[in-house]
Amino acid sequence: MKQFVAALAVGLVLATPTFAAEPLVVYSAGPASLSSALAKAFEAKTGTPVEMFESTAGKIMARYQAEKSNPHADVMISASWGHALTLDEAGELLPYTSPNAAQVPAALKSDRYVAQGAAALSIAYNPKSGLPAPQHWADLTHPSYKGQVTMPDPAKSGSALTLVQGLVAQDSANAWTLFSQLAANDLLVPGANKAALNPVLQGAKGVVFGAVDYIIIGAKAKGESIEVVYPSEGTVLAPRPVMILKSSRHAETAKQFVDFLLSDQGQQLVAEEYILPARTDVPAKRPGWNELAIIDFDAKQAAEQATATKAKFASVIAK
């Protein structure tokens, strides 16, 4: 009888269903390779699966906004710092300060969001194009570049919007004149970052105005004919904010995910993509914090004016 009871108990244990942890839902602006690596590494470390939606900054924000009545996302990683400021102002972010954020510069964190890393905006130049090598933003208005310059659309690329905002903040009159002159020089604004870069990699165009530098550095490392130019008059950093949404159904797991992103392992995965790690104590595989001429501007004010800035840019380029 005892053996029968024991066998029955074992059978009941084996028959009891096991429930996997509910997935953490993350909406992330690319690169897709980094999103995938972070999701796999976090699952391996914690056992919690990550359901990742990876797209452009504009598309992940649009998806989040469209789902407001039935929110799905727990965490958002954007390529637009303005998204963090906007969602924070709307009261839609969960307060959390990761202990791993101690080495992140103060300008790149608050108690509701923190940078995962940052890119710098640059000129990307194909040396096989036969064009003169540009050194300054305004060089691309020269007749020799007519019909040869592309630019990501600030309405679809958070990093491109950041560049427009920075140049306008630095010198508004000159910046809008610059964009007007680029338009007169047949500037192509085809879409987000990839759409602007592909024609240059393929040789159909010669230069990208406002290329995300880590993408260019990575392409060159893979053998592409492409070079990064950082204009000496200055450029902008495009930090990648990480935010836990107040509507998250898995807040504690989301906090663990933020901790992981800012851990040694998470920041090294960022560095492997040639993105500048947010933590200053993690080595970068590209020009670092002290090697770039960075335009400092009021990001909060720029975020408040973002809609007007995008509309004005579209109007100037259309003329």
- The alpha carbons of the chain give a radius of gyration, in whole angstroms, of 22
The answer to whether residue 296 is domain-embedded is no
Q: Which residues sit opposite 235 in a β-bridge?
A: 294
Confidence class for position 56, pLDDT limits 50, 70, 90: confident
Q: Do residues 128 and 217 both lie within one domain?
A: yes
Q: Do residues 91 and 213 both lie within one domain?
A: no
Question: Which are the contacts of 293, defined by CB distance < 8 A and separation ≥ 6?
Answer: 230, 231, 232, 233, 234, 235
The answer to whether residue 295 is domain-embedded is no
Q: Locate the DSSP E strands across 41-128.
A: 50-55, 75-77, 113-125
| Residue-level pLDDT at 260 | 98
Q: Is the pLDDT of residue 246 over 60?
A: yes
Pairing type for strands 227-229 and 113-125 reads antiparallel
> How do residues 271-302 score in pLDDT, each as one tens digit?
999 999 999 999 999 998 788 899 999 988 99
- The angle, 0 to 180 degrees and rounded to 10, between the axes of the packed helices 264-272 and 251-261 is 60
Q: Do residues 186 and 220 both lie within one domain?
A: yes
The CA distance from 34 to 79, in Å, is: 13
Q: Do residues 105 and 174 both lie within one domain?
A: no
> How do residues 161-198 score in pLDDT, each as one tens digit?
999 999 999 999 999 999 999 999 999 999 989 999 99
Pairing type for strands 113-125 and 207-212 reads antiparallel
Confidence class for position 71, pLDDT limits 50, 70, 90: very high
Q: Do residues 27 and 65 both lie within one domain?
A: yes
Q: Is the pLDDT of residue 6 over 60?
A: no
Question: Which are the contacts of 83, defined by CB distance < 8 A and separation ≥ 6?
Answer: 57, 61, 76, 158, 241, 243
Q: Do residues 185 and 314 both lie within one domain?
A: yes
Q: Is the pLDDT of residue 18 over 50?
A: no
Q: Do residues 145 and 158 both lie within one domain?
A: yes
Structural tokens at position 30? 């690319």
More confident residue, 97 or 17: 97
Residue holding tokens 């898995």?
A: 250
Q: Do residues 186 and 314 both lie within one domain?
A: yes
The CA distance from 253 to 22, in Å, is: 10
Structural domain span for residue 76? 23-117+238-287
List the CATH number of the domain containing 245.
Answer: 3.40.190.10
Structural tokens at position 78? 């954007």
Residue holding tokens 């720029």?
A: 302
Q: Locate the DSSP E strands across the chain.
A: 24-29, 50-55, 75-77, 113-125, 149-150, 207-212, 227-229, 237-244, 276-277
Confidence class for position 11, pLDDT limits 50, 70, 90: very low
**With contact defined as beta carbons under 8 Å apart, do 169 and 295 qualify?**
yes
Count of the separate structural domains present in the chain: 2
